[in-house]
Structure 1
Amino acid sequence: MLSVPVQDVLGEVVLPGDVLLLPAQAADAPLSLSVASSVTKRMRVVCGPGLTRQGEDLQVTKCGLLRHREPAVYWVDSHQKRYVPVKGDHVIGIVTMKSGDIFKLDVAGSDQASLSFLAFEGATKKNRPNVKAFNPSK
């Protein structure tokens, strides 16, 4: 992989595997990625989401836009965030539990969704849908 100075790609798309050189690395004295010794005062670099430390370099682990905040905070701004379902969204879920007139569904969110048995097409109080809860142990 080619190493590029971090200033050249700020605000641009970076890909996993890219290696980024920190500002002071172009000169003779490299910038330390940890709290410096008392002999030389160097700034601490903070790696946010999408970046890891690789020696004196930063390595990109997620695809997205490289962002920077003073003094030395770097992160990759990507759209790989957790989905948060909202009331009214059309989702696909797995029935995990039946409780009276309500089905509990796993919709890959932080909470389970609730669905009334009357929400099924053609369902009435007399004609209830025959839905079984998913059991992964069987």
Structure 2
Amino acid sequence: MENPNMVVTCDDQMENPNMVVTCDDQMENPNMVVTCDDLMENPNMVVTCDDLMENPNMVVTCDDQMENPNMVVTCDDQMENPNMVVSCDDQMENPNMVVTCDDLMENPNMVVTCDDQMENPNMVVTCDDQMENPNMVVTVMIRWRTPTWL
């Protein structure tokens, strides 16, 4: 990192267990790009949300988070970083992600439907929330019942 002529890639790191690349190193060297695939294959690499926000070369998606327990993405992180997109499907599959109505209203990338709400007890959408946020769609679930006289 002190020598600009040296470029370390993830492939190099994976082939040599003695090389450990941290997020701090990546941030100081624009030639280093770490992708989620690299993270998943190498347990020595740990990326936090703080690192993501400071480095535009790092992009973490929910799919990556679900496969890697070392990555934790919260709604606060998503709101500060446009590269992070969290969907309801992701939330349902990952208990580490909690999305509240307040988060929804501040972030246009988050869309919650009634179906999502019904399957996930952590998500609560009220009519007031819907009125303030056009991205929230609340549908009416109709349950047909056979009349008793038939």
TM over 0.5: no
Pair member with larger Rg: 1
More helix by percentage: 2
More strand by percentage: 1
